[in-house]
């Protein structure tokens, strides 16, 4: 088949150039969106009298038949036809005859691919939002199931203060809620129709772009034809959202890796989501969590790949932009896979809550409670902090803990200390006292769980 631009060329394109420039090997996954856009475009052409209505109907019928062939696996993609657009157009012309050649009236592959990519990312963004919701619901179920379980909270990877395990899990639900909002904003940014911008300058034919926007479900039409074909901000938005979500998944994965070690012994991941060693028979490795961490770096690379691709391009479309799709596809695949496997893995995790509770009281984790106790007795916080620090130093020198100190020892540091201090030294009591809004007390965590049950219903 002749190239669509063969008219001004005297010689055939070199085979090595065909192989080097083809993109159908990866952009074929856009077929559904390419056909969706082409059906709307054909209807618009017929409606506007740009092509005969019977030709428009034949084009729509032929495109639907091609869609069925691709869906069933019968369609043969040809690399010599360069991309998904020309593969479908060539098949259409072969199927319905000369009418197929009219489909590309009043459009270019420049605005066509901009449309296809927006439609694809709109679909992927909606899917990812649903996957995030599923993960949130799974985390919420775990939080409800382990209500009351106390664990050590950390800062700087050092034991800091006791918290509820449910509170810790809810922190990830909060992160994921922001991720959903980001993808929602991403959907808003890509809700602009580029089709009808043609190569870069629009067309002299009487097209109806508002009709196309309605047919394809876009809220608005692009206002500048040059920008429309050269814009990939919407793809960068998607990759940025994906990278941030992957960062959140990676942070959680890192904690699962740490918590499953003998040093922590907070959790055990089920056999179905772990692997063994080819040489060490005793090993049970958290490979799924480790791969989520690893794939995060991969998605970061996808974002920087497209940023780098776009940074030096003059207006408007340049062939470099063919390379926008591999990183976008890779990020979508990676994020969907990570969300899916993590959601499936979490219900099978066993939380060793007794171990968590025993470690929650170590490392002087209730020292802040002692300081706040002294504040309630009237001591300024800075002084209370200093007194508590001296108590901790004493414990370290005596190789003991706060709960083991006698009343005489405690009162030697401050006469404000009385028997009622015992109620702030226990990790469970410490947690119950944190009733500030958003805190880790059982009442506050129960409120948070109730809130998210309503949000995610």
The yes-or-no answer on residue 277 being catalytic is: yes
Distance CA 377, CA 387 (A): 13
Distance CA 191, CA 221 (A): 9
Strand partners, 164: 150
First to last CA, the chain: 54
Q: In terms of Cα–Cα distance, which of 306, 180, 181 is closest to 233? A: 306
Distance CA 186, CA 233 (A): 10
Give the tokens for residue 434: 């944190």
What 3-state class would DSSP assign to 153?
strand
Q: In terms of Cα–Cα distance, which of 231, 360, 242, 255 is closest to 300? A: 242
Active-site residue, from 25, 201, 270, 277: 277
Burial of residue 450 (CB within 10 Å: 0-12, 13-18, 19+) is exposed
Q: In terms of Cα–Cα distance, which of 366, 437, 380, 432 is closest to 148? A: 432
Burial of residue 220 (CB within 10 Å: 0-12, 13-18, 19+) is exposed
Active-site residue, from 156, 278, 397, 406: 156
- Residues classed as catalytic: 156, 277
């Amino acid at each position: 088949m002749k190239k669509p631009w063969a008219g001004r060329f005297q010689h055939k394109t070199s085979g090595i150039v065909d192989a080097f420039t083809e993109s159908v090997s990866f952009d074929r996954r856009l077929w559904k969106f390419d056909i969706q856009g082409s059906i709307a475009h054909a209807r618009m052409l017929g409606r506007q009298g740009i092509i005969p209505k019977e030709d428009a109907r034949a084009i729509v019928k032929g495109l639907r038949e091609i869609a069925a062939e691709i869906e069933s696996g019968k369609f043969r993609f040809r690399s010599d036809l360069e991309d998904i657009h020309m593969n479908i157009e060539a098949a259409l012309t072969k199927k319905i005859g000369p009418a197929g050649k009219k489909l590309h009236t009043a459009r270019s592959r420049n605005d066509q691919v901009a449309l296809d990519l927006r439609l694809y990312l709109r679909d992927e963004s909606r899917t990812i939002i649903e996957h995030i919701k599923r993960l949130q619901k799974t985390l919420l179920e775990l939080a409800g199931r382990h209500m009351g379980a106390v664990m050590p909270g950390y800062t700087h990877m050092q034991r800091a203060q006791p918290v509820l395990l449910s509170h810790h899990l809810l922190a990830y639900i909060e992160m994921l809620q922001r991720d959903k909002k980001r993808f929602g904003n991403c959907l808003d940014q890509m809700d602009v129709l580029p089709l009808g911008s043609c190569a870069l300058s629009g067309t002299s034919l009487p097209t109806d772009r508002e009709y196309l926007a309605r047919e394809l479900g876009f809220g608005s039409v692009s206002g500048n034809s040059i920008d429309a074909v050269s814009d990939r901000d919407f793809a960068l938005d998607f990759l940025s959202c994906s990278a941030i979500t992957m960062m959140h998944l990676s942070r959680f994965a890192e904690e699962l890796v740490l918590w499953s070690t003998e040093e922590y012994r907070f959790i055990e991941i089920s056999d179905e989501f772990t692997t063994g060693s080819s040489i060490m028979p005793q090993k049970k490795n958290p490979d799924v969590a480790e791969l989520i961490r690893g794939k995060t770096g991969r998605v970061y690379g996808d974002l920087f790949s497209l940023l780098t691709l776009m940074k030096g391009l003059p207006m408007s479309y340049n062939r470099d932009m063919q390379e926008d799709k591999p990183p976008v596809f890779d990020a979508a695949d990676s994020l969907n896979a990570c969300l899916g496997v993590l959601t499936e893995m979490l219900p099978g995790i066993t939380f060793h809550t007794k171990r968590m509770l025993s470690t929650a009281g170590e490392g002087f984790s209730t020292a802040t409670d002692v300081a706040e106790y002294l504040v309630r007795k009237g001591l300024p916080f800075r002084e209370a902090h200093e007194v508590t620090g001296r108590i901790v130093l004493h414990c370290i020198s005596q190789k003991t803990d706060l709960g083991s100190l006698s009343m005489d020892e405690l009162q030697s540091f401050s006469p404000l200390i009385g028997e009622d201090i015992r109620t702030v030294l226990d990790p469970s009591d410490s947690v119950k006292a944190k009733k500030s809004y958003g805190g880790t007390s059982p009442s506050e965590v129960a409120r948070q769980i109730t809130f998210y049950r309503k949000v995610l219903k």
